[in-house]
Amino acid sequence: MLKIIIIEDERLAQENLLNLLSQISDAFEIITVLTSVKESIAYLSTPSSANLIFSDVQLPDGLSFEIFERTRLQVPVIFVTGYNEFMMNAFDYNGIDYLLKPVTKADLEKSVMKYQMLQKHFSTYVSSMDKLVEYVNKKKKSRMIVKRGTENISLRLEDIVLFFTENKIVYVLDNLGKKYMSDKNLGELEMELDENQFFRANRQYIVNIDFIRGFKTYEKVKLKVDLVIAEINHAIIISQETAPGFRKWIYEA
């Protein structure tokens, strides 16, 4: 039995998806239908037996990407939306397929078949679901959702100069000097970011190697990082203990 969660706020779209799934197979179990980012985060923050999620992108209170950013859910997702501009973002959030509304039976059958083929392929090694999740999560993230006021903004990681904390808030600074807020702490970000691209300089900073001009000795045993963008006025100091790791990281880049 394939256990499915649907994240969709439009009643007609819900009914169409449920109807098409019932036509394809009677081996589907719909666990729940969620209608907002807030509701989905609350539901998915607890353990779930779901094997697959169908999710709209635009929900009444934001983009569904925030759900997967906040819950770190390890379940494959088929995104179903009326807008094609979110396609590249979708594959950063456990996405294995992207369908445009109105969804047809043929579209849905192909997506379910894709899921089943991936599941079958990875079942050779360990449990099928574990390997499928591993496959999805190995895809390098190219973007992250940040906040600016009431907006949720999809920011390219390659445009992020650094992450830093200030008054217990984590900020994201881009190459234009714009500042955003992140819902994650530096420890969580450090685990998710590409270690070849980003380095945890100290308790306050994570820096992007593409925006480092160089570094110099500071107070005899520490290092001070020099950023390419002079207007970004942040003093990034590498401690004596962290300096060897930093040198190895930047020399081997």
Contact 93, 65 (CB under 8 A): yes
Q: Where are the domains of the chain?
A: 2-138, 156-251
Instruction: With a cut of 70, say whether residue 181 has pLDDT above it.
Output: yes
Q: Where residue 123 falls among pLDDT bands split at 50, 70, 90?
A: low
Going through 17-93 in order, the beta strands assigned E by DSSP cover: 28-34, 52-55, 58-59, 62-63, 77-81
Q: How confident is the model at residue 137 (pLDDT cuts 50, 70, 90)?
A: low
- Give CA–CA dist 162/172, Å, rounded: 6
Verdict on whether the full-model pTM lies above 0.75: no
User: Any idea which architecture 156-251 has in CATH?
Assistant: Beta Barrel (2.40)
- Rounded to the nearest 10 degrees, the angle between the axes of helix 11-24 and helix 105-122 is 60
The structure tokens listed for 112 are 């379910």
Residue 121's pLDDT is 61
What would the two tokens of residue 240 be? 């004596």
Residue 223 or residue 137, greater confidence: 223
Give the CATH fold of the 2-138 domain: Rossmann fold (3.40.50)
Confidence of residue 142 (pLDDT cuts 50, 70, 90): confident
Taking each helix axis as running N to C, give the angle between helix 128-138 and helix 105-122, from 0 to 180 degrees, rounded to the nearest 10.
Answer: 100
Q: What is the pLDDT of residue 140?
A: 58
Task: Note the Cα 69 to chain centre separation in Å.
Answer: 5
